[in-house]
């Protein structure tokens, strides 16, 4: 299935629901993420976004990515940067990127190097693979961007 075909899956283009209560209208949104400590309070309702009724789904990250990309089962989801760029490069992407970074971690500061690989400087990383835990070259994609 191509990226364009995936974006045409039936039922994926539903409109978000408006909930009216006590004269106040709030937008009902669905959000899928994994169980991160930095979004847990939002997902459990301890922290609430003003004007929004949020229904959260806590799932394994691989399932979040797959179901959001294939079926767009919820309104908001995390997505790999590489996949987002691939969709955006096609003029009719069904996704809009929003600049939300709840972890506040500079991702490029987290390279771990095995001492038995002969890597002493960033120059030694040229032409070497970099693979994320799900087997895709996401971090390599990000690294090459620099």
Q: Is residue 97 part of a domain?
A: no
| The residue to which tokens 């949020």 are assigned | 54
pLDDT at residue 10, as a whole number: 43
Structurally, the chain folds into a number of domains equal to: 2
Q: Which domain holds residue 118?
A: 107-145
Does one domain contain both 8 and 69? yes
Does one domain contain both 140 and 84? no
pLDDT at residue 66, as a whole number: 92
Does one domain contain both 13 and 73? yes
Does one domain contain both 74 and 13? yes
* Residue stretches of the chain with pLDDT short of 70: 1-14, 101-111, 130-146
Does one domain contain both 131 and 73? no
Q: Is residue 78 part of a domain?
A: yes
Per-residue pLDDT of 55-72, as tens digits, reads 999 999 899 999 999 999
pTM beyond 0.85, yes or no: no
pLDDT at residue 68, as a whole number: 92
């Amino acid at each position: 299935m191509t990226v364009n075909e995936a974006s045409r899956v039936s039922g994926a283009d539903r409109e978000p629901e408006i909930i009216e209560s006590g004269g106040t209208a709030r937008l009902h949104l669905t959000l899928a993420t994994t169980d991160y400590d930095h979004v847990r309070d939002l997902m459990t309702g301890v922290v609430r976004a003003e004007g929004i009724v949020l229904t959260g789904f806590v799932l394994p990250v691989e399932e979040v990515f797959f179901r959001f990309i294939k079926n767009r089962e919820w309104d908001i989801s995390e997505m790999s940067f590489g996949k987002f760029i691939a969709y955006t490069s096609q003029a009719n992407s069904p996704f809009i990127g929003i600049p939300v970074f709840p972890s506040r971690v500079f991702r490029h500061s987290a390279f771990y190097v095995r001492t038995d690989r002969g890597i002493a400087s960033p120059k030694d990383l040229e032409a070497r693979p970099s693979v994320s835990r799900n087997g895709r070259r996401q971090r390599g994609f990000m690294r090459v961007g620099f």
